[in-house]
Amino acid sequence: MGYTGKRLLQYASLHKKPILFALLLLLAAVCAELAGPMIAQRMIDRNILGIEQSWYETQTEDRYAVPYNGARYKRADHLAAGEAQGGEVRVLQVGRSFYFVGQPLAFDGSRSVEGTTLAVKAEDGRAASYPAVKLTAAELYGFYKPEFRPLLLMAGLYFGLVVVSALLTYGVRFVLQVSANRIIRKMRGDVFAHIQRLPVQYFDNLPAGKVVSRVTNDTEAIRDLYVTVLANFFSGIVYMAAILGALFLLDYRLGLMALPIVPLLVVWIKVYRRFASRFNHRIRSLLSDINGMINESIQGMPIIQAFRRQKQTMKEFGELNDDYFKYQNKMLNLNSITSHNLVNVIRNLIFIGVIWMYGGGVLGTMITVGVLYAFVDYMNRMFQPVVGIVNQLANLETALVSAERVFSLLDEKGTEVTSGKLDRYKGNVAFENVRFAYNGEDDVLKNITFEAKHGETVALVGHTGSGKSSILNLLFRFYDVEHGRITVDGRDVRDIPKQLLRQHMGIVLQDPFLFTGTIASNVSLDDPSITRETVEKALRDVGAYEMFRQLPGGIDEPVLEKGSTLSAGQRQLISFARALAFNPAILILDEATASIDTETESIIQQALEVLKKGRTTFIIAHRLSTIRSADQILVLDHGRIVERGSHDELMEQRGRYFQMYLLQQGGARSQAGDVPVGSGAALT
């Protein structure tokens, strides 16, 4: 058993009691069902065809004694021990008629009747003739009458076992499905919880749609494994073992003829999995790609439509869809070749072999009609689980591939969620000779050293890719430093659990993310420690309370996914209020005013002043006019700090910052208050 199989068993072991109970029910259901052919064989050979056994004249009058032509006759198997008996007679079937022969047969063989003479011819050429009297329907009924009661009892038992088997099978399915749902609930919970622990860089390399596919599609495929695949495999194994045992009880030669099915099935499964595994890996990968593209297309629909990319997007999706279709067809062809049709061929070959060996006299012996019926019934029942197992091989491979993908996600190294609280730190931050590279080779930060004291505002400016966001990513421990160190109040951030470190940090992004809910819930993030009064005060402090109070629902106005019904300024104000409500010691503003109109910017500037009070603030600046009051401005270029100081100090230096500021001011004058020309090239 491979690694994936062991992990699946570990999850199943969490609910081993109900699963074992289901297997016991399955065993009982199989025993109840497989008793049917044995009962049918007894009914045929003893109660129906038993009329051709030897009959003896008797003086006893009971329900087994049959009156005929002035005498009473009782079948040999109904004679009591020591019961007096007369001469042997026979009741034989020729064609569709039955004849009374008043003497025993020397041998049996093919039969024919002419007039009142019955001729018997053996395979070795011997022949014999006997006087015979054709029985009327009433006389024949008399010979069958003693068997009606046991026949009805056996039929009732047969029907009862069918009902019991059906109820037990229902119980098996119900218990297995409930257990499987609980296993998958646990697995989905584990996957989603682990996603919360994964580092940010994991999501940089894996599209959201692929992650969603692992949480939903792949776990659903695993659910099918526990409900359908395992049920078919377990029931198939139990059925086959029980049927082989029953065949050996009927006739060991019949059991030996059916025995090769087991190794054949094992080889069958190995060959199938060799091809199916490759196809299923590709199918699941393509399905993830499709989900990822759909997610990306929905998120970027305004851009797709604005730049008329619909045809190109449809073409890219069509290529993925065609690849998915191609591999699905390959799986379909493989399943068609190796499933039901092949099973029927093997079954029919076994039937032909039995008929040839017994009917053709190869074994030199005959089997009764009841045994032949039971054999055919058992073989049909045996091939049902074989078909079930073979037909579930596709689902098995899909589930194993899905499980492999889910477990690979669970095996990604994450950060354990830390409980408890950390006392609010002052917010003294220091970077000491920090070097960092995302890929481990090309440094994006090179010997960064600076200090931000409690209550100070530090602005980071520079061109795209200069390292501004990387500094804040390291401070938040979205990534960890490789060289140098970062301290908060003198303590290395790597010595502080990530959740506790971020407990007193707040961030406002350029494009703030809002969750489905209400305005109030997006401010508090449903944190029970943040009261309604705190939410309202935070909104008032950032100057947004009156604005949102005008909405139909006030601050309880519903917010759709990503806040699509709100303006960019309204979303940003909610983000500011959120940061204020959590009262962080360190606040990070990542180009928070870059996409805001001038009117809203004045409101946000006032909110900024409220936010910055009493806390260390880092600002990634897009508009240099918004950071003139910063205590310290760091100018970055290709991962290095090339200038540092206050606005006035940097202007006096007439360096890079001076040139950038003049460029923006000139652009602002030429555009009469619009977004500065060239600012995007200089600062983004």
Span 306-321, pLDDT tens digits? 778 888 889 989 999 9
The share of the chain scoring above pLDDT 70, in percent, equals: 89
Mean pLDDT across the stretch 446-463?
91
Residue ranges of alpha helices (H) inside 455-544 are: 468-475, 498-502, 519-524, 532-541
Q: Give 69's Cβ-side CA count (13 Å radius).
A: 12
Spatial separation of the C-alpha atoms in residues 499 and 131, rounded to whole Å: 103
Residue for token pair 């020397």: 106
Over residues 334-361, the pLDDT tens digits come to 777 766 566 677 777 777 777 676 655 5
If one counts every other C-beta atom within 10 angstroms of the C-beta of residue 438, the result is 14
Residue 270 has pLDDT above 70, yes or no: yes
Is residue 322 helix, strand or coil? helix
Over residues 62-81, the pLDDT tens digits come to 888 999 988 999 988 888 87
pLDDT value of position 399: 83
The share of the chain scoring above pLDDT 90, in percent, equals: 17
Q: Which of 56-70, 449-463, 569-583, 593-607 is least confident?
A: 593-607
Residue 491 has pLDDT above 80, yes or no: yes
pLDDT value of position 431: 94
Q: How confident is the model at residue 595 (pLDDT cuts 50, 70, 90)?
A: low
pLDDT value of position 339: 60
pLDDT value of position 675: 37
pLDDT value of position 640: 93
**Residue ranges, CATH 3.40.50.300, the chain:** 426-504+615-684
Spatial separation of the C-alpha atoms in residues 499 and 409, rounded to whole Å: 21
pLDDT value of position 358: 62
Residue 511 has pLDDT above 70, yes or no: yes
pLDDT value of position 296: 79
Higher per-residue pLDDT: 410 or 595: 410
Residue 407: partners with Cβ closer than 8 Å, 6 or more residues away: 3, 4, 7
Is residue 433 helix, strand or coil? strand
Residue 633 has pLDDT above 90, yes or no: yes
Q: Which amino acid is at 190?
A: D
- Answer yes or no: are the C-beta atoms of 370 and 376 closer than 8 Å: no
CATH fold of 426-504+615-684, please?
Answer: Rossmann fold (3.40.50)
Over residues 422-436, the pLDDT tens digits come to 888 888 999 999 999
Q: How confident is the model at residue 292 (pLDDT cuts 50, 70, 90)?
A: confident
Residue 156 has pLDDT above 60, yes or no: yes
Mean pLDDT across the stretch 185-192?
88
**Which of 81-95, 386-400, 588-602 is the most confident on average?**
81-95
Q: How confident is the model at residue 160 (pLDDT cuts 50, 70, 90)?
A: very high
pLDDT value of position 448: 93
Mean pLDDT across the stretch 102-117?
89
Mean pLDDT across the stretch 249-260?
78
- Output phi, psi for 340, to 5 deg: -60, -45
Higher per-residue pLDDT: 679 or 335: 335
**Residue ranges, CATH 1.20.1560.10, the chain:** 3-42+150-410
pLDDT value of position 593: 61
Q: How confident is the model at residue 650 (pLDDT cuts 50, 70, 90)?
A: very high
pLDDT value of position 589: 85
- Answer yes or no: are the C-beta atoms of 621 and 591 closer than 8 Å: yes
Q: Which of 166-175, 206-215, 500-509, 588-597 is least confident?
A: 588-597
Q: How confident is the model at residue 115 (pLDDT cuts 50, 70, 90)?
A: confident
Q: How confident is the model at residue 643 (pLDDT cuts 50, 70, 90)?
A: very high
Is residue 307 helix, strand or coil? coil
Spatial separation of the C-alpha atoms in residues 533 and 531, rounded to whole Å: 5
What is the residue-averaged pLDDT of the chain? 82
Q: Which of 69-78, 159-168, 462-471, 598-607 is least confident?
A: 598-607
Among residues 555, 548, 544, 563, which one has the least CA distance to residue 607?
544
pLDDT value of position 98: 92
Residue 413 has pLDDT above 70, yes or no: yes
Q: How far apart are the first and last CA of the chain?
A: 54
Residue 680: partners with Cβ closer than 8 Å, 6 or more residues away: none
pLDDT value of position 679: 36
pLDDT value of position 357: 66
pLDDT value of position 610: 73
Residue 458 has pLDDT above 80, yes or no: yes
Residue 367 has pLDDT above 70, yes or no: no
Q: Model pTM?
A: 0.61
Over residues 202-213, the pLDDT tens digits come to 776 666 777 777
Higher per-residue pLDDT: 119 or 604: 119
CATH fold of 3-42+150-410, please?
Answer: ABC transporter transmembrane region fold (1.20.1560)
Q: In terms of DSSP bridges, do strands 66-68 and 71-75 run parallel, antiparallel, or are they unpaired?
A: antiparallel
pLDDT value of position 599: 62
